[in-house]
Amino acid sequence: MTSPALPRTLLLASSLTILFACTDDTPADTSDGTGTETSDTTTGDGDGDSTEVDPFVAWPTLDCDPLVPDLCGLPFPNNVFTIDDPDSPTGRRLAFTEALVPEGDGYQPDPDVWLDSDGFSPGSALLTYFPNVSIQGLPTPVTIEVSLSDDSPTILLDADSGERVPHWAELDMSHGDDGRRAFMIRPAVRLDPNTRYIVAIRGLVDQGGALIEASSGFAALRDISPSDDDTIEQRRGLYADIFMRLGDAGIGRADLQLAWDFTTASDANITERLVHVRDEGLAMFDAGPQFNITKIDIDPFPGIAMRVTGDLLVPLYLDEPGPAGRFTYGADGLPEPNTTTEYPFMVLIPTSAFSEPAGLLQFGHGLFGSYQDVDDSLLRDMAIDYNLVPFATTWLGLSNQDLGQISSVLQSARIDDFSTIVDRLGQGVFNGLSAMRMMRESFADAPEIMGPSMEPLLIDADRSYFFGASLGGIMGSTYMALTTDVQRGVLGVPGQPYGLLLDRSEAFTPLATLSNAAYEDKLDLRIAFELMQILWDRSEPTGFSRHVISDPLPGTQPHEVIMLGAIGDHLVTNFGTHVMARELGIPQLNPAVRPLFGIDQVEQPYSGSVFIEYDFGLPPIPITNVPMTQGSDPHGALADVPNAILTVEQFLRTGVVENFCNGTCDPD
């Protein structure tokens, strides 16, 4: 691989910094939960048809599910933890109790925090528990195709279409308690919204090779045997439907060890808050928000005429501007501003921008960073070499201001306060959208912004770009799904969902120590992370990346992105990067370093959105949910690959992608 480069500060903030480093909305195949059969519950003619009762899709609402008696809350996600809501797009609404939402460090979170979700996260890990289970022979992150084979022990099925969903299975190795390791099925793709899924498991053996027996509750449903548990008897019709649908897909009931169903949240439920904030907030200042310049450094570096620091005046959708803030809501259930407030920004102006119209380059910093990270050698070089004006705001929620709040939430098990992080991320995205509007519409008119001979700043608003890496690449997909001002963006070393990224991030270890200590039972810990993911979807890529290129959000145009990954990344796992690439629907650029499941390959030069992996010669990453630690971390190593910057600049300017490597982008 020949060499130019993304800056280390661009792709890497600090070790902790990177820690965090379609269907429509018609109701899914559900019932009203009171025994009303849905119109298609009796379809199907496979060997799954049962004769004891007719298929009848209705769910009792339970505190706990006896199908997995080892822990309340398993299996998860699960339709029996929902209630009927005919007014929601899915027809359901989450209904958790204190029995399900785990207590930690002596604190019981409020389960009502999840009441406004109309389904489960489409980025969920699917959780259950089998003591002493062996995972040998199950699909892994590098053998995903096994999950689609006829004899796969684990099955994830779209209940309506019968299509199998690619996935892998793993035990939770993120802690040291061998006796309480969750059995996890991780979809290799983001699940469709507003969709009912069926999970089925068969053929599992223990560490000694003995077949694991089904629980008595599930065996009663499977074998049509009597049960004295009312929650089992209430589900005879439901499981007749589940077994029928599995049978139609060629999956017999006799050897099943467990099966259950769940429904994903609707797109509207996940995205409508930020779409509303964008539409309402930006409409308050069509000509750009007001701003106040607080400092100007003249000629801070050769070729940089000004480094400008200022405050952006924006509507505040939070109840307070600091780390504990959360959205305030209007009567319509959507976020509403309660005042205005100022957030800081920084702009680098190249000398050339006073003689030739310059493009705009919005920078997304790394985790626990700030707007000041735009003052970086690579960004200065790009400003000078390509006549661009880099600028940045702070990604609220995961900034240098937020580490204390995040630590507190994890250490105290106050996962009902996790919405403070999610909502601040939403305000941070809006601040970024507002800053781009300011730069396009009014910044150059500020009387303080004049060249050395009183020349005006020249801005070419048609050249408005986004460039984010690590956190900036992760949250950059949310930004790119929402922006109406930017056409092309760069997502450096990103991934999704956060529930997949955290355990596999070397930088998460310090915070993992806090969260592990909060929960005596490590099965509770895993449920807690999945509950946080439900909330996180409303700002992180799981809720938004599918809308970047196709299926745009309301009032939004399609966009183009280039995604750059570093093989062997210690901080943002490659498996999460691949999930994002599949969700974006982008191909790899040939010659690719390696084939990847579910990701096509295209020849270069290529016009459009694309994914490039860079190989730095590291050994394979672990397939378990632990961090990659071998070798030198390549997360920021693209800073030493000058060809990457050539690729980035050409894509932003023309939409055409070439890798400028001598063959594959590898050490040779």
Tens-digit pLDDT profile for residues 418-463? 999 999 999 999 999 999 999 999 999 999 999 989 999 999 999 9
Sequence spans of domains, the chain: 79-265, 269-497+537-657
- The residues, ordered by sequence, that sit 6+ positions from 112 with a Cβ below 8 Å of its Cβ are none
As a whole number, mean pLDDT of residues 58-77 equals 97
pLDDT at 286: 78
pLDDT score of 44:
38
Indicate if the pLDDT at residue 531 is higher than 50: yes
Which residues in 277-402 belong to E strands, given as ranges? 291-301, 304-316, 339-350, 358-364, 388-392
Residue 22 predicted with pLDDT over 50: no
Provide the residue type at 546 as one letter: R
Q: Residue 52: its pLDDT value, please?
A: 74
What is the C-alpha to C-alpha distance for residues 370 and 373, in angstroms, rounded to an integer? 6
Instruction: Say which range, 30-34, 116-120, 178-182, has the weakest mean pLDDT.
Output: 30-34
Confidence check: pLDDT of 46 > 90: no
Give alpha helix (H) positions in 495-573.
498-501, 509-518, 522-536, 541-544
- The predicted pLDDT at position 265 comes to 99
Q: Which CATH superfamily is 269-497+537-657 part of?
A: Alpha/Beta hydrolase fold, catalytic domain (3.40.50.1820)
Cα of 636 vs its chain's centroid, Å? 21
Q: Is pLDDT larger for residue 637 or for residue 350?
A: 350
What's the rounded Cα separation, in Å, for the pair 602 and 587?
6
pLDDT, tens digit (0-9, with 9 covering 90-100), for 491-528: 999 999 999 999 999 988 899 999 999 999 999 999 99
> 126-143, pLDDT tens digit by residue?
999 999 999 999 999 999
- H or E element, residue 583: helix 574-584
What pLDDT is recorded for position 319?
97
Query: What SS3 class is residue 164?
Result: strand
Separation between Cα atoms, residue 445 and residue 595, nearest integer Å = 50
pLDDT digits (tens, 9 = 90+) for 115-125: 999 999 999 99
pLDDT above 50 for 24: no
Pairing of strands 560-567, 459-469: unpaired
Distance between first and last Cα of the chain: 5
Give the per-residue pLDDT at 287: 86
Sign of CA dihedral 277, 278, 280, 284: positive
Strand partners, 314: 341
Evaluate if residue 19 carries a pLDDT over 80. Answer: no
- What confidence score (pLDDT) does residue 11 get? 37
230-276: pLDDT as tens digits: 999 999 999 999 999 999 999 999 999 999 999 999 999 999 999 99
* Mean pLDDT, residues 181-187 taken together: 99
| CA 517 from centroid of its chain's CA atoms | 25
Higher confidence at residue 546 or residue 14?
546
Q: In this structure, are residues 460 and 354 in contact, taking their beta carbons and an 8 Å threshold?
A: no
pLDDT digits (tens, 9 = 90+) for 349-380: 999 999 999 999 999 999 899 999 999 999 99
Question: Distance (Å, rounded) from C-alpha 296 to C-alpha 300?
Answer: 10
Answer yes or no: are the C-beta atoms of 425 and 364 closer than 8 Å. Answer: no
